[in-house]
Amino acid sequence: MARIVMKFGGTSMAGMERIRNVAARVKHVVEQGHEVAVVVSAMAGETDRLVGFCKEASALYDPAEYDVVVASGEQVTSGLLAMTLKAMGVDARSWLGWQLPIRTNEAHAKARIGDIDTIDLLASMRSGTVAVIPGFQGMMEDGRISTLGRGGSDTSAVAVAAAVKADRCDIYTDVDGVYTTDPRIVARARKLDLVTYEEMLELASVGAKVLQTRSVGLAMKEGVVVQVLSSFDDPTQTDLPGTLIVSEEELEAKLKEDKMERQLITGIAHDKNEAKITVTRVPDRPGAVAHIFGPLADAAINVDMIIQNVGRDKGETDVTFTVPGADLARALDVLESQKEEIGFNRVIPDTKVAKVSVVGVGMKSHAGVASTMFKSLADRGINILAISTSEIKVSVLIDEDETELAVRVLHTAYGLDAPVA
Amino acid sequence: MARIVMKFGGTSMAGMERIRNVAARVKHVVEQGHEVAVVVSAMAGETDRLVGFCKEASALYDPAEYDVVVASGEQVTSGLLAMTLKAMGVDARSWLGWQLPIRTNEAHAKARIGDIDTIDLLASMRSGTVAVIPGFQGMMEDGRISTLGRGGSDTSAVAVAAAVKADRCDIYTDVDGVYTTDPRIVARARKLDLVTYEEMLELASVGAKVLQTRSVGLAMKEGVVVQVLSSFDDPTQTDLPGTLIVSEEELEAKLKEDKMERQLITGIAHDKNEAKITVTRVPDRPGAVAHIFGPLADAAINVDMIIQNVGRDKGETDVTFTVPGADLARALDVLESQKEEIGFNRVIPDTKVAKVSVVGVGMKSHAGVASTMFKSLADRGINILAISTSEIKVSVLIDEDETELAVRVLHTAYGLDAPVA
């Protein structure tokens, strides 16, 4: 017997026929003797509909009332799933965010979960009642409804799993796991059985969007074992069919158990939502660069890769860096307003770039990962515009048109291609 | 300065454009210096949509979860109205049923309101913040959501008005008040300025559907002055444009103030949803009739008019009575199951009947109301099948085809026709 949190997204909850499928899946897990809590999203499209009303009400809508409006979507699906389970003979009840309560901080529309009261919840689960909990919502200290920001239901599920000390948090999505890379780009991409929190964070933040980044960070902090799996697979399959996200220690232990070697590289990610900015002819003196990056940081713009070019006229340099594409316009405004202080000549933006990253905890103990990357790309004539590295990741910035080619080249270079069937 | 509860139904809340109109109307009342609480229904059609999901989930859906699902409709409109008011510069906040809380008994889907905590609510209203409260919902002792049954938002508004000791509860509908009779039948029907609770109950229960009957009963019990008025009228009209529903004492006082005479008859109601049942050849001995009406009462079937016909064969009698049309099939089943005990010959149902009633507190002190009614109908050849009376009402059962004719005849006979313009 295990205690399992199951989480279903909006696509799985879109309409009563799909909710019945979810209920059948939950019933199957209950019949195996497990204690189950289910965290649900609103029906696909419903949150957009509710946000649309708020935007129609006012461009600057009140965030406290926004939370009242949008939290209703998950309220509806939790009631419907609980009644469907009961109709199938599975004891169940809904627990709304304010009923547990799931306490959050005071940031309407982007709240963070604090602690969750579990006394009543656990008593109910222990008595064999499935707990159905709306994702995305909580209650603030002042007793008002809060929501976590879009995609927050993954985080709700992990937070509930941590609070009830669940053995596993199963996140059902429309993909059947985490892949070595985007299968739409590389047909021979392989599903990963195991991935560490750190790898998942790198894979998610650079474009492999399966789980909300925040939920992975929380799972890592709380040590929640997360499984990503498909809500369209056969519900009677009882072993672990998806991708398990675990700590590095758990990964080591499982590899040892299965007598498997650790892979050098776990996956290849790409992200086309980067923008490159080059600031030309910046005075080459101490502090000049601080005039660029200080104001950008003040504006909460996340700068990723940075290169200080050399070889310009004496006493001047070009500075190149990347920012999220969505922040480009604001970044240009900030730089223009600092022109005096920085003393540059021109600012040249470029959105036709992409970041491609190789990710893997295995590279901690192996040299040569970066040089393999650079050589493989050079062999295919792909020009590297910038480089950044972390302990478990090497990223390069390239021309956007070469993204897919680069991903395929690297997937093969690191031996990730699935065997030909 | 007065304290006013304003209530808006689903038609007034159907979409952001209408919600903006409601907000403008609330703003106008606030600007006159009044303290305001607003009770809202879900958007027209929304509750049906949510109930539809529940029915799809299971024919025998769990009523506790049904309440979780359907209460969301009013949650959405209260958030939207509060944010619209704030965007218009009117301080406002929503108070959900569980936040006040509005306590109800333990009957899911048909709960009755108990007490309402008003300490925080009144403090907020006194500080100039408009309270926006979802109708139809409350919270049970166990902390779960309850709803009041369809049309319950009128009752919520009256309950809130009673709790905050409001000077008036203004119920905005799609008609501009209570009329002397259905204006679709009598073009010269007049809008009433004043009507008593008792009259309104009689007018509502016999077919003049403007307010939910339960809300009128509650207003009478709590002494809440209710005004029925149109949400489509000019919002800047500041006197009392609708129909005031008051106690008989208040009616007297206002008539005296305005030096007006009390009308003998306030209005004419009709109801085609009655069914007549004749049980033939019932033994004419003590207790026989009890065998008819006892089992019907046990089955919670409301019997209205009763006639025990005379002049049959010696020792036998025919018994005729009316029941709500919706209960006819069940009533026939009950009678059939009691055939032995009652000892009747046949049961003859008839749904082609209508009840027409003249209603007015004025008839308490005047004789001759009933005879005017019978004579006027007889003069036009309308046959009376049964009669029932109360202190403020005389009802007759007639052939359904003569309903409109009877209503027109009586409207004229009691001098209710508006002067020709």
Question: Across the interface, do A16 and B56 touch by the CB < 8 Å criterion?
Answer: yes
Q: Averaged over B219-226, what is the pLDDT?
A: 96
Distance (Å) from the C-alpha of residue B84 to the closest C-alpha of chain A? 5
- Give CA–CA dist A129/A37, Å, rounded: 9
Distance (Å) from the C-alpha of residue A158 to the closest C-alpha of chain B? 24
- Give CA–CA dist B45/B198, Å, rounded: 31
Residue of A144, A130, A378, A362 lying closest to A248 (CA atoms): A362
- At A136-145, the pLDDT tens digits run 999 999 999 9
What are phi and psi for residue B403, nearest 5 degrees? Answer: -55, -55
State the complex-level ipTM.
0.85
| Of the residues A259, A275, A291, the one at which a domain ends | A259
Residue of A203, A197, A289, A281 lying closest to A245 (CA atoms): A197
Residue B102 lies in a domain: yes
Q: What is the CATH number of the domain that holds A295?
A: 3.30.2130.10
Distance (Å) from the C-alpha of residue B75 to the closest C-alpha of chain A? 7
Distance (Å) from the C-alpha of residue A120 to the closest C-alpha of chain B? 12
pLDDT of residue A2: 95
Q: Quick check: B280 and B318 in contact, CB under 8 A?
A: yes
Biggest CA-to-CA distance, chain B: 80
What are phi and psi for residue A58, nearest 5 degrees? Answer: -175, 140
The helix-helix angle for A46-57 and B72-87 (nearest 10°) equals 30
Q: Are residues A182 and A272 in the same domain?
A: no
Distance (Å) from the C-alpha of residue A346 to the closest C-alpha of chain B? 41
Distance (Å) from the C-alpha of residue B138 to the closest C-alpha of chain A? 14
Residue B76 touches chain A, beta carbons under 8 Å: yes
pLDDT at B64 over 80: yes
Q: Are residues A233 and A328 in the same domain?
A: no
Q: Are residues A301 and A193 in the same domain?
A: no
Question: Across the interface, do B96 and A65 touch by the CB < 8 Å criterion?
Answer: no
Distance (Å) from the C-alpha of residue A207 to the closest C-alpha of chain B? 34
Mutate to test the interface with A, among B55, B67, B80 (most CBs of A within 10 A): B80
- Give CA–CA dist A279/A341, Å, rounded: 13
pLDDT of residue A234: 72
Q: Averaged over B373-397, what is the pLDDT?
A: 93
The DSSP letter of residue A365 is G
Interface of B with A in 374-413 (CB under 8 A): none
Tell how strand B3-8 and strand B168-173 pair up.
Answer: parallel
Question: Across the interface, do A72 and B75 touch by the CB < 8 Å criterion?
Answer: yes
pLDDT of residue A241: 84
- At A368-408, the pLDDT tens digits run 899 999 999 999 999 999 998 889 999 999 999 999 999 99
- At A12-48, the pLDDT tens digits run 999 999 999 999 999 999 999 999 999 999 999 999 9
Q: Are residues A140 and A271 in the same domain?
A: no
pLDDT at A207 over 70: no
Residue B84 touches chain A, beta carbons under 8 Å: yes
Q: Are residues A128 and A180 in the same domain?
A: yes
Q: Are residues A69 and A181 in the same domain?
A: yes
Residue A24 touches chain B, beta carbons under 8 Å: no
Locate the chain A residue with the closest alpha carbon to B43. Answer: A53
Residue B223 lies in a domain: yes
Question: Across the interface, do A75 and B57 touch by the CB < 8 Å criterion?
Answer: no
pLDDT of residue A253: 93
Q: Which residue has the higher pLDDT, B154 or B1?
A: B154
Q: Which of A58, A84, A94 sits opposite B84 (nearest CB)?
A: A58
Q: Averaged over A197-215, what is the pLDDT?
A: 81
Question: Across the interface, do B87 and A56 touch by the CB < 8 Å criterion?
Answer: no
pLDDT of residue B313: 67
What are phi and psi for residue B217, nearest 5 degrees? Answer: -60, -40
Q: Which residue has the higher pLDDT, A164 or B173?
A: A164
Q: Quick check: B342 and B279 in contact, CB under 8 A?
A: yes
Q: Are residues A12 and A99 in the same domain?
A: yes
Q: Which of A66, A83, A145 sits opposite B58 (nearest CB)?
A: A83
Residue B117 to residues A308, B102, B123, B351: CA-CA distances in angstroms? Answer: 65, 7, 12, 47
Q: Which of A60, A68, A99 sits opposite B75 (nearest CB)?
A: A68
Distance (Å) from the C-alpha of residue A290 to the closest C-alpha of chain B? 40
Residue of B8, B293, B320, B355 lying closest to B154 (CA atoms): B8
pLDDT of residue B312: 59
pLDDT band at A186 (very low <50, low <70, confident <90, very high): very high
Q: What is the CATH number of the domain that holds B146?
A: 3.40.1160.10
Q: Which residue has the higher pLDDT, A203 or B328?
A: B328
pLDDT of residue B91: 98
Q: Which of B57, B78, B99 sits opposite A84 (nearest CB)?
A: B57
Q: Are residues A334 and A268 in the same domain?
A: yes
Q: Quick check: B192 and B243 in contact, CB under 8 A?
A: yes
pLDDT band at A101 (very low <50, low <70, confident <90, very high): very high
Q: A19-23, B164-168, B335-339 — which is least confidently predicted?
A: B335-339
Biggest CA-to-CA distance, chain A: 80
Chain B residue numbers with beta carbons less than 8 Å from the beta carbon of A79 are 54, 65-69
Interface of A with B in 94-133 (CB under 8 A): 94, 96, 98-99
Residue B78 touches chain A, beta carbons under 8 Å: yes
Locate the chain B residue with the closest alpha carbon to A57. Answer: B84
- At A237-259, the pLDDT tens digits run 666 689 999 999 999 999 899 88
pLDDT of residue B288: 79
Residue A421 lies in a domain: no
| Of the residues A209, A231, A259, the one at which a domain ends | A259
Residue B73 lies in a domain: yes
Residue A62 touches chain B, beta carbons under 8 Å: yes
Q: Averaged over B13-36, what is the pLDDT?
A: 96
Residue B304 lies in a domain: no
Q: Quick check: A3 and A167 in contact, CB under 8 A?
A: yes
pLDDT of residue B205: 62
SS (H, E, C) chain B: CCEEEEEECCCCCCCHHHHHHHHHHHHHHHHCCCEEEEEECCCCCHHHHHHHHHHHHCCCCCHHHHHHHHCHHHHHHHHHHHHHHHHCCCCEEECCCCCCCEEECCCCCCCCEEEECCHHHHHHHHCCCEEEEECCEEECCCCCEEECCCCCHHHHHHHHHHHCCCCEEEEEECCCCCECCCCCCCCCCCECCEEEHHHHHHHHHCCCCCCCHHHHHHHHHHCCCEEEEECCCCCCCCCCCCEEEECHHHHHHHHHHCCCCCCCCCEEEEECCEEEEEEEEEECCCCHHHHHHHHHHHCCCCCCCEEECCCCCCCEEEEEEEEEHHHHHHHHHHHHHCHHHHCCCCEEEECCEEEEEEECHHHHHCCCHHHHHHHHHHHCCCCCCEEEEECCEEEEEEEHHHHHHHHHHHHHHCCCCCCCC
Locate the chain B residue with the closest alpha carbon to A51. Answer: B80
Chain B residue numbers with beta carbons less than 8 Å from the beta carbon of A67 are 79
Cα A307 → chain centroid: 27
Q: Are residues A83 and A99 in the same domain?
A: yes
Element of type H or E holding A377: helix A369-379
What are phi and psi for residue A279, nearest 5 degrees? Answer: -105, 120
The parent domain of residue A344 ranges over: 263-416
DSSP H stretches of helix in A170-312: 197-205, 213-222, 248-257, 288-298
Question: Across the interface, do B80 and A53 touch by the CB < 8 Å criterion?
Answer: yes
Locate the chain B residue with the closest alpha carbon to A82. Answer: B65
Mutate to test the interface with A, among B40, B48, B67, B69 (most CBs of A within 10 A): B69
Question: Across the interface, do B76 and A50 touch by the CB < 8 Å criterion?
Answer: yes
Q: Are residues A171 and A312 in the same domain?
A: no
Question: Across the interface, do A82 and B93 touch by the CB < 8 Å criterion?
Answer: no
Residue A202 lies in a domain: yes
- Region of residue A403 (left: phi > 0; alpha: psi -120 to 50; beta: else): alpha
Q: Which residue has the higher pLDDT, B330 or A263?
A: B330
Chain B residue numbers with beta carbons less than 8 Å from the beta carbon of A42 are none
pLDDT band at A206 (very low <50, low <70, confident <90, very high): low
Question: Across the interface, do A83 and B61 touch by the CB < 8 Å criterion?
Answer: yes
Residue B392 lies in a domain: no
- Give CA–CA dist A302/B96, Å, rounded: 39
Q: Is A162 exposed, middle or buried (0-12, 13-18, 19+ CB in 10 A)?
A: buried
Other residues' Cβ atoms within 10 Å of the Cβ of residue B77: 28
Residue A313 touches chain B, beta carbons under 8 Å: no
Other residues' Cβ atoms within 10 Å of the Cβ of residue B344: 23
- At B234-289, the pLDDT tens digits run 766 656 689 999 999 999 999 899 888 878 899 999 999 999 999 999 888 777 78
| Of the residues A239, A259, A279, the one at which a domain ends | A259
- Give CA–CA dist A171/A159, Å, rounded: 13
pLDDT of residue A312: 59
Instruction: Count up the domains in chain B and report the number.
Output: 1
Q: Are residues A359 and A281 in the same domain?
A: yes
Chain A residue numbers with beta carbons less than 8 Å from the beta carbon of B72 are 72-73, 75-76
- At A285-323, the pLDDT tens digits run 777 788 899 999 999 999 989 888 766 567 888 899 999
Residue B90 touches chain A, beta carbons under 8 Å: no
pLDDT of residue A237: 65
Q: Which of A56, A65, A96 sits opposite B79 (nearest CB)?
A: A65
Residue A159 touches chain B, beta carbons under 8 Å: no
- At B68-122, the pLDDT tens digits run 999 999 999 999 999 999 999 999 999 999 999 999 999 999 999 999 999 999 9
Q: Is B117 exposed, middle or buried (0-12, 13-18, 19+ CB in 10 A)?
A: middle
Q: Are residues A290 and A339 in the same domain?
A: yes
Residue A68 touches chain B, beta carbons under 8 Å: yes
**Residue B141: partners with Cβ closer than 8 Å, 6 or more residues away:** B103, B106
- Would you state the structure tokens that stand for residue A134, as one six-digit string? 């709306």
Distance (Å) from the C-alpha of residue A88 to the closest C-alpha of chain B? 9
Residue B19 touches chain A, beta carbons under 8 Å: yes
Residue A78 touches chain B, beta carbons under 8 Å: yes
pLDDT of residue B206: 60
What are phi and psi for residue B92, nearest 5 degrees? Answer: -160, 155
- Give CA–CA dist B161/A318, Å, rounded: 70
Question: Across the interface, do A66 and B78 touch by the CB < 8 Å criterion?
Answer: no
Question: Across the interface, do A83 and B62 touch by the CB < 8 Å criterion?
Answer: yes
Residue B61 touches chain A, beta carbons under 8 Å: yes
Which residues pair with residue B388 across a beta bridge? B395
